[in-house]
Structure 1
Amino acid sequence: MAVYTEVTPAQAAALLQQLGLGELLELRGCPGGIENTNYFASVQAPDGARHEYVLTLFERLGFEQLPFYLCLMQHLAAKGIPVPNPAPDASGQILHRLLGKPAALVNKLPGQSVLAPHPAHCAQLGTLLARMHLAALDYPRQQPNLRGLAWWNQTAPEVLPHLSPAQAALLRSELALQNELAQQPRYHSLPRGPVHADLFRDNALFEGDRLTGVFDFYFAGCDTWLFDLSVALNDWCIDLASGQPDASRSHALLTAYQNLRPLSAAEHELLPLLLRAAALRFWLSRLWDWYLPRDAAMLVPHDPTHFERVLCARVAHA
């Protein structure tokens, strides 16, 4: 989260009134994340109850793309998955307009992120990820993962001039490997559907040791479930200092996931390559944000060297 577009309390209050949610009590900019403008809004409902919401103005995604994400959240929430549920207006529309930009208002989930997870946290995350994949099987909308292979191929030339020769060689070789994999029948046999594609530890919430929900679906798209699983493994089950995988956390997450959705033979075979793909994706995006930043209040770009270490560790363990 970040603040690219300043929203005044009066502007936020007008949207709340339009949605019939009540009176704005407090509006606070959110410091985390890098893609959109986000605010926390405390609201007093017409019945006097106090509720917390997240107001998002979308800075890159357009009106034509956003129904995929918002309706996916609505679909999962209707199936009992603990995700933010977009607030509709009187006509049922969940995509709104504020300051000329697409906007959404969702309920703020309870809990706090666990930034140093234990195997028990990873197991709960694995279970919920499998539930999400299965719950989205009948989701009717289609949209590709917009940060998938096509974006990697487009973005790599923009960041290569900023890299050392060794880094550039690593980026080129891994990108070539993923382009080759994408042409193989065994890759096309992988189960796929709507995926979160950004399920890091700071996108999940816990109350005590209980997982209360996941959020930030604005990188979601249709991709392989194995890629989604790999993204989670590359964050929840990695030692942050070294980038090395943690065996106990990896085992807990994978076991819990497979208790609900066992991996196919092709998924077992290709997991090492998809772990490298997931590391490459976030190394590339962090390089892009680091060297080609956008102006935003409260924005602190993530250090790209972390996912360079993760990628090197996945290559070494291939």
Structure 2
Amino acid sequence: MAVFTPLELGDISQWIEQDFDIGQALEIRGIHGGIENSNFFLDTSRDGQKHEYVLTLFERLTAEQLPYYLELMRHLANQGIPVPRPIENNQGLILFEIKGKPAAIVTKLPGLSRLEPAANHCAQVGEMLAKMHLAGAHFPKVQANLRSLSWWQKTVPQVVGHLDVTQAQLLTSELYAQENFFHSESYAALPQGASHCDLFRDNVLFDPQASHDPSQDQLGGFFDFYFAGTDKWLFDLAVTANDWCLADNKQDFEPTRLNALLEAYQSVRPLTKDEQASWPMMLRAAALRFWISRLWDFYLPRDAHMLTPHDPKHFERILESRRTL
């Protein structure tokens, strides 16, 4: 999350009070982190109680693309998956416009991110990810993952010139390998459906219990669905594993957490034989996707308040590690 378009309370207070049934707007605060949209915490007061929401202005996604993400969140919330629920205005709409940008308001989930997760956190994430996949299996809208192969093919030529010879060779050779994988019969056989596609540690919240012991944390929910798409569920799982289950060297897997994630996921939705066989290549695909996007954000940045691009080297090292599996 980040702020590209500044927003003040006076810009929205009258709109909130007239068009919504969520009370009086009290405060709006920009959210630091992330790289795509302008995000704000929105506090309101209704019936003497304080309520918390997240207001997002979409900087790249269009009003035509956004219904997929917002309606997916509403669908999952209705299925009991802990995700932000889009807030309707008094006309029943969930997509709006602020300062010429598409915008939405969603509920704020409880809890905090565990950026150094233990096995119990990975297990809860794996179990809920599988439940989310099954809950979204009958979601009627279809929209391709906008950061998948076709985007990689378009973006690699824009960033490869910034790399040294060894990096460029790694990038282009892996893209070639993934093109072959994506066009294979084994890839076509993989089950697919609505996927988060960006389930990093900072997109999951855990609700600490009274003891404040992290081992007793309960999953608060998944958020930031604005990279979601109709994709292979195995890709979603690989993205998650590549971030949640890293060893101390930040590139190889830590076996205990990886096993916890995979066993919990498969307790709900066992992987097919095709998925098991495709796992190594899909881990590479997930690493490549984020190496490319971080190269793009690093070398072709946009102006924004509160934005710090991620280091591309992180996923370069992960890709190198996954190529040895």
- TM category, shorter: over 0.9
In structure 2, C-alpha distance between the alignment counterparts of 1:252 and 1:64, rounded to whole Å:
38
Which amino acid in the other structure matches residue 54 of structure 2? V
Q: C-alpha offsets along residues 265-292 of structure 1, whole Å, 9 cap, x if unaligned? A: 0000000000000000000000000000
Match of 2:234 in 1: 226
What pairs with 1:196-215 in structure 2 (closer than 5 Å)? 196-208=196-208, 209-215=217-223
Distance in 2, matches of 1:102 and 1:301, equals 23
Q: By how many angstroms is 1:12 displaced?
A: 2.2
Indicate whether 1:38 and 2:39 are aligned: yes
Which sits farther off after the overlay, 90-99 or 144-153? Answer: 90-99
Residue 103 of structure 1 deviates from its aligned partner by 0.2
Matched, 1:24 2:25: yes
Cα displacement (A) at 1:16:
1.6
Determine if the alignment matches structure 1 residue 281 to structure 2 residue 282.
Answer: no
Q: TM-score, normalised by structure 1?
A: 0.98
- Any idea what the Cα deviations from partners look like across 1:46-66, whole Å, max 9, x if unmatched? x12111111000000000000
Where does residue 264 of structure 2 map in the other structure?
Answer: 256
Specify every segment of 5 or more residues in structure 1 that has no aligned partner in the other structure, as ranges: none
Matches of 1:270 and 1:111, distance apart in 2: 34
TM-score, structure 2 normalization: 0.96
| Whole-Å separation in 2 of the counterparts to 1:77 and 1:170 | 41
Residue in 2 that maps onto 1:134: 134
Q: For 2:155 and 2:246, how far apart are their aligned partners in 1?
A: 25
Query: Which sections of structure 2, spanning at least 5 residues, go unmatched?
Result: 209-216
1 CA distance for matches of 2:58 and 2:167? Answer: 32
The Cα of 1:251 is off from its aligned counterpart by 0.3
**Can you list the C-alpha shifts for 1:95-149, whole angstroms capped at 9, x where unaligned?**
1111111000011111000000011100000000000000001100010000000
Which 4+ residue blocks in structure 1 deviate beyond 3 angstroms? Answer: none
CA distance in 1, matches of 2:207, 2:23: 27
1:240–1:306 contact (8 Å) kept in structure 2: no
Verify the 8 A CA contact 1:144 1:223 in the aligned structure 2.
Answer: yes
Q: Which amino acid aligns with 2:247?
A: D
- What whole-Å deviation, never above 9, does each CA across 1:168-227 have from its counterpart, x for those lacking one? 000011000010011111110100001000000100001121111010000000000000
Q: How far apart in 1 are the matches of 2:140 and 2:246?
A: 34
Amino-acid identity (%):
54
Is residue 299 of structure 1 aligned with residue 300 of structure 2? no
SS in structure 2 opposite 1:316?
Answer: coil
| Letter matched to residue 267 of structure 1 | E
Separation in 2, partners of 1:15, 1:83: 25
2:14, 2:304 → 1: CA distance? 24
Tell me, in whole angstroms, the C-alpha distance in 2 between the residues paired with 1:134 and 1:59.
30
Deviations 1:76-106 (A, max 9, x none): 0001100000100122111111111100001
Give 1:240 shift: 5.8
Partner of 2:115: 115
RMSD: 0.8
